[in-house]
Amino acid sequence: MERTTERLVARAADLGFDLAGVAAAGPAPGAERLRTWLAAGMHGTMGSMARTADLRADPRTVLPGCRSVVVVAMSYHTNRPASREALAGNPGTVWISRYAWGRDYHRVLKKRLVRLGRWLATEASGSDWRAFVDTGPVLEREWAERAGLGWIGKNGCLINRRLGSELFLGVLLTTAALEPTPPATDHCGRCTACLDACPADAFPRPGVVDARRCIAALTVEHRGPIAPELRPAIGRTVAGCDVCQEVCPWNRRAPADRHPEFAPAPHRYLPALETLEALDEEGWREWRRGSPLGRIPFESLERNLAIARENLERERGEAGASPR
C-alpha cells in the first residue's frame, strides 16, 4: 500500500493540511507513560483521561480491525508578540491563548478529515474509518511522532522542524493496511527554554506536564477553585497558556499565518478585562461563538477573570510602590 500512502499524503495536502503521516496500528506509543502519569495523579480533575485510558492504549479497541493510524496537522502560528510582552504593553487587557484566536479548529480539521476518510474508503475499497480532532480517546501526539510529523518536546508538545509546535492535530483510524511513514527523531538537544520559562513550574521532568499546575489545564479543563498559591503564576491569562511554546526556538523559525481560518479575531486578541467582566452567561456564549472556547463554561470564566483582576490589582500596586 506504499502508493496509497503517497497518494493519501498528497490528498491531505490538497485538502489544506500542512503535514500528514501514517503509523501502523497496535499498542499505542506512550500508553505506559500515560498509566504512570495517571497513577501519579498528574491529570488533576480531568477524569475523562482516566476513564478512557484503556481505549487510548490501543486504537484497535476504538475501531475494531484498525490497521493504520493517519495523523494530520495544521499550523496556527502567528507573528504576534509573546503573551508577556503583549500584556506588559497593554495594561488592563487579558490573554486568550493563540489556539482560540481564530475559528474553532475542531470543526475546521474535522470537516477536512472526514473528506480524507471518504477518499481513503474509495481508494482502499471496503475499509472502515473513524476521525477524531482532539476529543477522541486517542494519544494524538504520540501517534504523530510515530507517523513522522515531529517529536514530542520537553514541554510535551509535538514539534516539527519546519512548522514548530503550534499545530492542531487530527487522527484518522482506518482498517486499511497502509505503508507507514518514517518516525521522527528528537531535536530539542540541550535546550531547556520551555522548562525554565513555565510560570507555574508545571514540568516535574522533561516531557512530563503536571496538569495540576499547568496554566492551560487550570484555566480551560479544571473545574472548581484554583489553589491560592497558583494564582499569581496565572497572571492575566484567562484561557490557555502559550509561554512554553513562545520561548521555543523552533517556533521563532516557523512560517506564520498559513491559514486565514486561524487569523486572530480582533475581539479575542488582548480583550479588555472589563469587557469580559461585563458579560453574562448568554453574552459569554455569544462572545466565544465560532471559537474553540466552548470548553470553558461561564463559571470557569468568572473564576479566571477574578484571578486576572486580583493579579492586575497587584501589578498596579507594585507599580505604584516602585521608586520614581
Average pLDDT value for the chain: 96
Residues ≥6 apart with Cβ < 8 Å to 88: none
The answer, yes or no, to whether residue 149 has pLDDT greater than 60, is: yes
For residues 94 and 46, the answer to whether their CB atoms sit within 8 Å is no
Domains of the chain, residue spans: 2-78+103-174, 193-253+263-321
Average the pLDDT over 250-258 and give the result: 96
Confidence of residue 239 (pLDDT cuts 50, 70, 90): very high
Distance CA 222, CA 234 (A): 13
The burial of 191, by beta-carbon neighbours within 10 Å (0-12 exposed, 13-18 middle, 19 or more buried), is given as middle
Q: What does the pLDDT look like over 256-272, one tens digit per residue?
A: 999 999 999 999 999 99
Catalytic residue among 54, 134, 196, 201: 134
Confidence of residue 219 (pLDDT cuts 50, 70, 90): very high
**Three-state SS annotation for the chain:** CHHHHHHHHHHHHHCCCCEEEEEECCCCCCHHHHHHHHHCCCCCCCHHHHHCHHHHCCHHHCCCCCCEEEEEEEECCCCCCCHHHHHHCCCCECEECHHHCCCCHHHHHHHHHHHHHHHHHHHCCCCCEEEECCCCCCCHHHHHHHCCCCEECCCCCEEECCCECCEEEEEEEECCCCCCCCCCCCCCCCCCHHHHHCCCCCCCECCECCCCCCHHHHHHHCCCCCCHHHHHHHCCEEECCCHHHHCCHHHHCCCCCCCHHHCCCHHHCCCEHHHHHCCCHHHHHHHCCCCHHHHCCHHHHHHHHHHHHHHHHHHHHHHHHCCC
Q: What does the pLDDT look like over 115-134, one tens digit per residue?
A: 999 999 999 998 999 999 99
* Annotation says 210 is catalytic: no
Distance CA 3, CA 177 (A): 12
What does the pLDDT read at residue 318?
84
Confidence of residue 64 (pLDDT cuts 50, 70, 90): very high
Structural fold of domain 2-78+103-174: NADH Oxidase (3.40.109)
pTM: 0.96
For residues 100 and 190, the answer to whether their CB atoms sit within 8 Å is no
Confidence of residue 3 (pLDDT cuts 50, 70, 90): confident
Q: What percent of the chain has pLDDT over 90?
A: 96
Q: What does the pLDDT look like over 273-317, one tens digit per residue?
A: 999 999 999 999 999 999 999 999 999 999 999 999 999 999 999
**Of 70 and 322, which is predicted with more confidence?**
70
The answer, yes or no, to whether residue 322 has pLDDT greater than 80, is: no
What does the pLDDT read at residue 6?
96
The answer, yes or no, to whether residue 2 has pLDDT greater than 90, is: no
Cβ neighbours around 291 below 10 Å, total: 20
The answer, yes or no, to whether residue 320 has pLDDT greater than 90, is: no
For residues 240 and 97, the answer to whether their CB atoms sit within 8 Å is yes
Q: What percent of the chain has pLDDT over 70?
A: 98
What does the pLDDT read at residue 323?
58
What does the pLDDT read at residue 83?
97
For residues 137 and 56, the answer to whether their CB atoms sit within 8 Å is yes
What does the pLDDT read at residue 169?
98
The answer, yes or no, to whether residue 1 has pLDDT greater than 70, is: no
Q: Residue 216: which of 77, 95, 36 has the closest Cα?
A: 95
Average the pLDDT over 163-178 and give the result: 98
